[in-house]
Structure 1
């Protein structure tokens, strides 16, 4: 009794372990890496960055471009063509795309392309606010102008930051350029954002400038937009400076924060960059291929079968179907009770039909079955043993 129970117990344990392993792998792929089995709402963004510059010609040109930050909801990967030209390098703890053009440089336009694939929303670790917020040394005139703005918006100093920031941005939008300049005398083109940072500093609210692009494919060419990033409620909040609206997550792609550069070019002058965004519909398989490539590039090299050549991928697809097909046949014969043509014959027939259309498949199946049965009947008259007879039939079928 014990001898019969131990093998069966081992079989149950093995089946349970394999089932748990399969469920665990599927759970990790779907919940942590964003793999999907559904074609509904499957898409990715294709971002093109067009860099214009004026090279001197007698020295090499080095281009360093900030890549999208690891924001919740997006996974970043270089396009295959850009991957052969640009290199991902760490600079001050941040990844950047770097391209070096040897001298003499004649081109005045350089393009790069990368992909943004939807990824599961993950809780990122909270970012710390800037140290000594609100204690920046500013001129007395700036303090007076900032206090005047706050007196009009919040005379009692009781408005929470969530209400103060939109009201402040709307108020700044109604000011003249000269009045904004009084709040940010050293500002460049982002006067509204710098003025809002100066006013919020008077209330001890940390704020900083952001540069990025809108994931809006209607804008054919867009320059990096400047947004306001405000710290309150133990996290950062992104605001549109022209409307004071709180930016919805996933619609604004952050490329540069105030402590790092967006584009660095050496060996050339008058450089600028414009972006265009395209939303590309994709099936679940294509999207999973891109995800697998991004995963392989970042941390888990060889994690997915998608990293194999196409011929080997097709082979694994066929092999992966065999255990499933045999399981269905076993259930059909031994549990349901339906008679089948052996165990492997239905699988082989199904595999054959996968390689051709229905009508050619039926013609070939009828031809092979008829000739195979004829050869078997003829061999039966020769009084051959079972093994030689089956071997001969198998050889004939393979030849057909």
Structure 2
């Protein structure tokens, strides 16, 4: 007996732990929304390219576009142009779109549009970079100024990260004469980045330019320059303007390297302007789109991977254990008497079509009339099978009559009574009549009321949209329910109704 108890406890612990672990993994790792009403931000980015085409010359426009392997998931991208061919190629670790046309004249406008989200991005493996580089050529006063700046930088740094930070700090000190010499009168961010790159090359520290777009709505902007270096394990990002470390989460990497954002052959005066706006999308729909776009497949083996019609069926079926749990609690803990365990659940399912109030009325009428017929057939001394056949036929005829009169009276809800399970009603009538014969009319009435109460509570719980979504999205919760059911299977204590029945004994 002790080994049996231990076995049951271990089984319950395994089921509950597995259910909790799978559900937690879906919520915290895969990022699946807990509620259907949850929404997430979706960014729409438009890059508008304008230029003046030269007449009678072929036109080729090339522009860098964001890489797909980053912390954002691209839901959709499109290239909008008139009479231009479009192709996308990978060049030096960047993606570049090429628009081409045989002839174009006058002002031309091209669009690149990208829709992305951040929530459902998955961890990407770190792409390694160089950890050594050759020095850039430098001589004369510039070499002396660079060495003068590098001496204190070497003294005040301990690794690649602190070396780069100290370099950015020194170059941004525009009052330093050595810095003034290297900047040559141009203190722009791009020129400061050039000087930082020069100093780091002398120290053989690799550096790469990173051009980003800040995700901020309704604000005109241009690409923001960042610098990055590989320390042997991770990429370190730095803002050359203020020395800020770590690329913020609202920065989208657009392209890497020293190249210009856009170049035009057969045209001039090319300009690129960015427009950003954000919108909210239902979280589970967004998860599906992200899953399809990112090829991650975390919803592929969930119930959302089934055909839509099958999903609707399973949304009903998967709530049956919830109804069974309600009946189990009412019977084992509350002491409520019902016609078995599954009959109230099946009646609760039928209430989904008829609605609760109308369903209770129909159940009461059909059951009462069926019991009257069953009582009459009892006097004819029929065998059980013919008796059940007559009752079933009577139930079918009664349902048809109720549907007909409901339609004539304008009560369209009565038409759904045809979906009420006829076999369930037939067996309910038969079992109630047997209970009546064996235990009396009072007990049969008590069991019928208990069945209706249990079916009503089960229906109310099974019809909660938030609970239906949660169970359908996280079906591992059913393992936790099974563990609870197993625990209740060994309950031998008093039921709630028995406490009232034996209240007099407690006083003694």
Fold shared per TM-score above 0.5: yes
Contact map agreement 2:39 2:283 (CA 8 A) in 1: yes
Is 1:214 aligned to 2:225, yes or no? no
Q: Does the C-alpha gap of structure 1 residues 124 and 249 become closer, same or farther in structure 2, counting only changes over 3 Å?
A: farther
What corresponds to 1:253 in structure 2?
252
Per mean C-alpha deviation after superposition, the further-off stretch among 165-174 and 342-351 is 342-351
Residue number among 385, 388, 391 corresponding to 1:386 in the alignment: 388
Larger CA Rg, structure 1 vs 2: 2
Cα-to-partner distance string for 1:259-293 (whole Å, 9 max, x where unaligned): 887667778655444444445455xxx32332332
Aligned equivalents of 2:322, 2:87: Cα separation in 1: 41
Aligned equivalents of 1:100, 1:319: Cα separation in 2: 53
Residue 192 of structure 1, CA deviation:
1.8
Is 1:200 aligned to 2:197, yes or no? no
Q: Does the C-alpha gap of structure 1 residues 13 and 235 become closer, same or farther in structure 2, counting only changes over 3 Å?
A: closer
Aligned equivalents of 1:241, 1:100: Cα separation in 2: 33
Aligned equivalents of 1:112, 1:187: Cα separation in 2: 34
Is 1:37 aligned to 2:31, yes or no? no
Map 1:285-324 to 2 at 5 A: 286-300=282-296, 302-306=300-304, 313-324=311-322
What corresponds to 2:113 in structure 1?
112
Q: Does the C-alpha gap of structure 1 residues 391 and 347 become closer, same or farther in structure 2, counting only changes over 3 Å?
A: farther
Q: Hey, which of these two has a bigger chunk of helix by percent? A: 2
Q: Does the C-alpha gap of structure 1 residues 179 and 95 become closer, same or farther in structure 2, counting only changes over 3 Å?
A: closer
Aligned equivalents of 1:67, 1:50: Cα separation in 2: 11
Aligned equivalents of 2:280, 2:271: Cα separation in 1: 30
- TM-score (normalizing by structure 2): 0.57
Unmatched tracts of structure 2, length 5 or more: 378-385, 400-416, 421-508
Task: Number of aligned residue pairs: give it.
Answer: 377
Residue 33 of structure 1, CA deviation:
2.9
Cα-to-partner distance string for 1:27-48 (whole Å, 9 max, x where unaligned): 6544553324268996334141
Contact map agreement 2:80 2:112 (CA 8 A) in 1: no
Map 1:1-400 to 2 at 5 A: 26=23, 29-30=26-27, 32-37=29-34, 43-54=40-51, 56=53, 65-68=64-67, 70-71=69-70, 74-79=71-76, 82=78, 91=90, 96=95, 108-119=109-120, 122=123, 124-125=125-126, 127-130=128-131, 132-133=132-133, 135-141=134-140, 142-151=142-151, 154=152, 157-160=155-158, 161-175=160-174, 182=182, 190-217=190-217, 220-232=219-231, 234-247=233-246, 249-258=248-257, 270-278=269-277, 280-281=279-280, 286-300=282-296, 302-306=300-304, 313-330=311-328, 332-333=330-331, 337-340=335-338, 342-344=340-342, 346-347=344-345, 350-351=348-349, 361-377=355-371, 379-380=373-374, 383=377, 385-390=387-392, 392-393=394-395, 396=399, 397-398=417-418
Per mean C-alpha deviation after superposition, the further-off stretch among 106-115 and 268-277 is 268-277
Cα-to-partner distance string for 1:342-379 (whole Å, 9 max, x where unaligned): 54554456556667xxxx94442244224423542454
Cα-to-partner distance string for 1:103-128 (whole Å, 9 max, x where unaligned): 78796142413122324774743623
Q: Does the C-alpha gap of structure 1 residues 172 and 84 become closer, same or farther in structure 2, counting only changes over 3 Å?
A: closer
Contact map agreement 1:45 1:277 (CA 8 A) in 2: no
- TM-score (normalizing by structure 1): 0.70
